[in-house]
Amino acid sequence: MNDVLSKLFGSEARVKILRLFLSNLDTKYSTDDVCKRAKTHIQTTKKELSLFLKIGLLKKTTAYEIEPAKGKQKKDKKKKVIVYTVDQNFKDLTALRNLILNIAPTDEKGISQSVSGVGKIKLLVIAGEFIQDPDSRVDILVVGDALKEAKLKSAIGKLESHIGRELRYAVFTTQDFTYRLGIYDKLLRDVLDYPHKIIVDKLPVGWKEVHMRKKSDRG
């Protein structure tokens, strides 16, 4: 992962929490929400939230969460919690947001390493959030075999914690990808015909030519 900001701000956790809030200005998060999304320890999270409150970047209010009924309990239970959100009157908000969000949270090597243990990766394509193209349908496209779903979800979750947003991703087996390539599948068109980066390519030579030929045939 790209640790430039971690070095500047003194903590990876601090940067991840900043990204979460600055990428979602209007969203309110409880301490547990922040821990879950940023994948940070509870004590570290509390410390960082306290700091951000002190400098005026965040503000806190109360909200209610619904706890589903358990055991003999017949009704869902309302739980009062403290939630945090960005104070959009913070005087340096624009400058801080530009700094945090314009420096890539991950590099290509880091992305590749994150998914390296999920199976036999044949093709890894990044778009959307990774190249600052909000119009892309997909942020990451994975093609491979013997893929382990749980490990893939965990890898995506780790990437999301660094980016501060949920990622849109698509996964195909090599056989399925080859078939979809042959019929000029719309999802593949929406990824491969528009800005993207290929960071792993172990597919048979010639697949790109197949795609370009299908694109040309469609006019």
Confidence label for 1 from pLDDT (cuts 50, 70 and 90): low
What domain count does the chain have? 2
> Given a cut of 80, is residue 23 above it in pLDDT?
yes
> Given a cut of 60, is residue 200 above it in pLDDT?
yes
Same domain flag for 81 and 175: no
Q: Can you give the pLDDT at residue 190?
A: 92
| Range(s) of the domain holding residue 169 | 108-218
Same domain flag for 97 and 116: no
> Range with the lowest mean pLDDT among 72-86, 117-131, 146-160, 197-211?
72-86
Which of residues 102, 135, 161 is at a domain's end? 102
- Mean pLDDT within 160-165: 90
Q: Which helix (H) or strand (E) holds 6?
A: helix 4-9
Same domain flag for 39 and 138: no
Contact 202, 122 (CB under 8 A): yes
Which of residues 102, 119, 140 is at a domain's end? 102
CA 145 vs. chain centroid, Å, equals: 23
Q: Can you give the pLDDT at residue 177?
A: 96
> Given a cut of 80, is residue 40 above it in pLDDT?
yes
Which of residues 102, 119, 154 is at a domain's end? 102
Same domain flag for 75 and 135: no
Q: Which residue has the higher pLDDT, 70 or 149?
A: 149
Q: Can you give the pLDDT at residue 3?
A: 63
Q: Can you give the pLDDT at residue 106?
A: 76
Contact 24, 57 (CB under 8 A): no
- Mean pLDDT within 178-197: 93
Confidence label for 107 from pLDDT (cuts 50, 70 and 90): confident
